[in-house]
Amino acid sequence: MELRAYNPPTFFTQRGAWAKQCQLKRKGFPTDLRNWRFVTLTIDRDAYADPFVAWSVGKRHLRQFVYLLKKKYGIRRWCWKLEFHEPDEDGLIWPHWHILFDYRQRIDKDELAALWGKGRTQIKRVDGETFDYLFKYTAKAIDSIPDWILSRTCVRLFQTSKGFFPPAPKKLSADDVEQQNQETASPRGTGAGPARETQNYDRHFETIGERLQRWSRYVVSRSTSDDGKVMHRVFELTCESWGQLLVRLGRIKIRSGIPSSDLHVTENCIQTSCLNLLPSYLPAFT
């Protein structure tokens, strides 16, 4: 059996951003970005009381900004990504946006600044060809999430225009199916924690911070049935986090002298045939 931390596709965690990258690749994120325009929009910190107010104003004006660019330059394909600066000297974390336009002609930087009007702007011509060239911007995980984000129930971090992705393929490869199974696995089982995920109750009032805390208590198992079918299940840990599970199984391995072939523990994965070690940590495990 193989165990991994529960990492649904999300920009809020490092591994989740990797899963999001895989998801966007499968959807058909453009692979040739040469001569596209890459725009960064920042906020004038002196004009707003705090980062939350700046984000609230900026996200509303972003729609108008994109609309004006589309109208003037006939832009059809675009995507934007919300990101955050490092904490300033007061510990405040301010927002900024990256926008990628499928537009291969010059855009006047002064006109761009006038259209935004909320702070500094920067525009660059993309000189790379591949998806990975720009993905360090479009899928960079948020390492330091501001409290004014964690306390909200929903925040849009990434958006694309209609038609940005090609039509979905009719048939996925075996590797794509495997990756989707890992990403879409949801907590199940008979234990009190995992069973909650299958019940029909309202999570609309759960904050982003609470959601991240809940996810940190889940672990994904991958096993193969007797007939060769790959199965993914999600369990809630009895310990506080994936990190604690790594430490505890690592100690058991060292003290008991269990061979690596029977229990292999790394930062991102646990592989074991010693299933008798798991029930105390995965109460719903059978």
Q: Are 245 and 239 in contact (CB under 8 A)?
A: yes
Q: Please say if the pLDDT value at position 80 is more than 90.
A: yes
Top mean pLDDT of 146-160, 176-190, 229-243 is at: 146-160
Identify the three-state secondary structure at position 236. Answer: strand
Please state the φ and ψ torsions of residue 67, each to the nearest 5 degrees. -60, -45
- Decide: pTM greater than 0.75: yes
- Which pLDDT value is given to residue 167? 85
Contact 180, 220 (CB under 8 A): no
Rounded Cα distance, 84 and 95, in Å = 4
78 CB contacts (<8 Å, ≥6 apart)?
A: 66, 70, 99, 100, 101, 102, 160, 161, 164
Alpha helices, DSSP H only, in the chain? Answer: 14-27, 51-73, 109-116, 131-138, 147-150, 174-184, 192-198, 208-215, 242-256
DSSP 220: E
Query: Across the strands, what pairs with 159?
Result: 80
How high is the mean pLDDT of the chain? 85
Give 112-159 as a DSSP string.
HHHHH-SS-EEEEE----SHHHHHHHHT---SS--HHHHTSS----EE
Average pLDDT estimate for 134-148: 77
In sequence order, what are the beta bridge partners of 99? Answer: 39, 80
- Report, as an integer, the average pLDDT of 93-122: 94
What average pLDDT does this structure show over 2-24?
Answer: 90
CA–CA gap between residue 1 and residue 262 (Å, rounded): 10
- 60-70 pLDDT tens trace: 999 999 999 99
Q: What average pLDDT score do residues 123-135 get? A: 77
Please name which of 112, 118, 108, 120 lies closest in space to residue 59, comparing C-alpha atoms. Answer: 118
Q: Is the pLDDT of residue 35 over 60?
A: yes
Residue 286 has pLDDT above 80, yes or no: no
Q: Where are the domains of the chain?
A: 2-6+173-277, 29-160
CATH top class, domain 29-160: alpha beta
Choose between 7 and 138: higher pLDDT. Answer: 7
Which positions ≥6 away from 17 have C-beta within 8 Å?
A: 10, 11, 139, 140, 141
Q: Which two tokens stand for residue 93?
A: 């974390």
Query: Looking at residues 21-25, what average pLDDT do you find?
Result: 90
Report the pLDDT value the prediction gives residue 194, as an integer from 0 to 100: 42
251-276 pLDDT tens trace: 999 988 898 889 999 988 999 999 88
Q: How far apart are CA 162 and CA 38, in angstroms?
A: 18
Tell me the C-alpha to C-alpha distance, in Å, between residue 221 and each of 8, 17, 182, 211, 235.
Answer: 14, 20, 9, 20, 8
Half-sphere exposure of 27 (CA within 13 A, CB side): 11
- pLDDT over threshold 60, residue 192: no
8 Å CB contact between 155 and 207: no
Asked if 257 contacts 208 with a C-beta cutoff of 8 angstroms, the reply is: no
Are 77 and 103 in contact by the 8 Å Cβ rule? The answer is: no
pLDDT, position 112: 94
Give 187's DSSP letter.
B
